[in-house]
Structures are given as structure tokens and as C-alpha cells.
Amino acid sequence: MTQIERIKEMEQRMDKTSAAVMHLSAALDEYGHKTMTAREIIDYMETLRNDEQRRVLMRFFKTGPGEYGEGDEFLGLKVPQTREVVRAVAKDIALEEVPELLLSKWHEVRLCGLLILVARFEQLATKRLSNDEAAIRRRDEILAMYLHYAEQANNWDLVDLSAPKILGHWLLLPTALGDEYKRQVLDNLAKSSNLWRQRISIVCTWKTSWAGDPSWCLRYAEMHLHHPHDLMHKAVGWMLREMGKRCGIDLLRDFLRQHIHEMPRTTLRYAIEKMSDDERQAWMSADRK
């Protein structure tokens, strides 16, 4: 592709993005800038359907028979389009409208619902509100909704875009439910028979590791070490890598030394990705059962 062709492609993408923003503004005008209901949001998002992009996404997210995303339905929206909707409605939409979004058959609508929960949680998690009793209760309510509908986050992108920012952040903040409840929540997720609940229990530790607490990652990485699914192998390795990056590379090395002989190769490869070439080679060639 020539430079001129690249520029034209970028211009086309910008035109499509601008058109989507204008379309959303028109939709809000149609509703008189009143708070949109879940049904109105779904109706609007359905107008953005792109069948060509839909086919691409359904292949990418493995929606075929026997694949991990079997049966998932896509509108063909790109993530920035969904985020634009979230920015427009998250502040004012009633929380009780969100379950209708989470229960939608459309992947992008469920993502919209999850990102609305993220936005609402973050509004209540500022330094000024971290110890505010009303904010604590409302954060707990959002968490309860997230956990209740956790299985609706039924693909890796839905988990990864929501778990750290809701559950992971909640672990770092005061709760009216007690600190012991925090571990109980993650234990229940980790021991679930549902793949996506299990992934939530490890991916949420991205937030705690980046806050300097390695304990959550180490506990659930060990718990999931023998998980049979490749998506979990990747998630555990990714979270171990992030923990080592933020909490100390020696903690990661200690974990690897302890578990090297039982760790899936994919998990190991993801965990050591940012190490030097020589160290990666040494870990990958270590004696393994």
C-alpha cells in the first residue's frame, strides 16, 4: 500500500467515525436529550449494523460450533463506536436499565452495558469519594449487578474490558460487605464451572497488581495453573507478567521456580514475554515434566 493509499484509508476511517458521532447526536436530538432507555440504546446501535465487519468479528471471536464463542451474535460495530454511545449515555441512564443491555443477544450491546457499569463505578471511585458511605453502597450495588450478570461477559474482550475496572478496583476500596467477602467473591468465581467467571477471577488482578499488591494475582494464578483451556493459560501468564512488572520481577521468578514443572507452556511463554532473550530461553528450556 502506497503512502497516498494509506492517507486515503485514514481519511475514510475518519469520515466513518465522524458520521457515527453525527448519527449519535441526531439520535439524542430525536429523544430530546432526555435519558435514553436500554431499548432506545439497542435500537440506535442496531442502526449501525455492518454486515461485512460482523462476519470478520464472528470469525475473530470464535463463534462457530464447538468454539469458545459459539452462538455469539455481532452487529459489526467497532469498539470506538460502542464507547461513543457509552460516553453519551453513561452519566444519566438509570442503573436498572443496564440489565436489559447485558442480556442482549448482541455482543456490542452487552459490551455497552458493561462499559456503562465501568463508567458509573469509576465516577464513585475517585479519591474524594473512596470513603464516602453513600459511594461505598453504590459501588457495592454495581459490583453485585456485575457479578449477577457475569456470565453475560461471555467472551475474552468483555471480561478484559470490565473485570479489572470493576471487580479489581473494588478489591482496593472500602466496602460495606467486609474485607473477608472480597476473597469469598473471587474464590466463588475461580471455583465456578463457567469459563468466563473463572477468567474474571484472574484478569481482575491486573488492577491490584498495578496498585502494588501481588497477593491476589499469585493466589488465583496458582489456583488456575492446571486449567484445561488455552484462554485461561494466556490469562494467567499475562497477569503473572503484569504482576512481575509492577510488584517485582523476583516475585515472578520465585513463582516460576516453584511451578515451572507443572505450568502450561503457553502460560510460561506469556509470563516471561518481557524478560531478556537469554532469560526467556533459559526458562523455556528448563527441565519440565
pLDDT tens column, 212-270: 999 999 999 999 999 999 999 999 999 999 999 999 999 999 999 999 999 999 999 99
Radius of gyration of the chain (CA): 21
* Amino acid identity for residue 203 in this structure: V
Report which DSSP code applies to 106: B
Provide the pLDDT for residue 18. Answer: 46
Q: Which ranges of the chain does DSSP label H, i.e. alpha helix?
A: 3-30, 38-46, 51-60, 79-89, 98-102, 107-123, 133-148, 156-160, 163, 169-171, 179-190, 195-203, 205-210, 215-223, 230-247, 249-259, 265-271, 277-284
The whole-angstrom separation of Cα 204 and Cα 159 is: 9
pLDDT value at position 17?
Answer: 44
pLDDT in tens, the chain (289 residues): 444 444 345 445 444 444 544 555 555 555 544 679 999 999 999 999 999 999 999 999 999 999 999 999 999 999 999 999 999 999 999 999 999 999 999 999 999 999 999 999 999 999 999 999 999 999 999 999 999 999 999 999 999 999 999 999 999 999 999 999 999 999 999 999 999 999 999 999 999 999 999 999 999 999 999 999 999 999 999 999 999 999 999 999 999 999 999 999 999 999 999 999 999 999 999 855 4
- pLDDT, position 24: 59
| Whether the Cβ atoms of residue 38 and residue 101 lie closer than 8 Å to each other | yes
pTM of the model: 0.88
What is the rounded distance in angstroms from the CA atom of residue 108 to the CA atom of residue 114? 10
Average pLDDT, the chain: 91
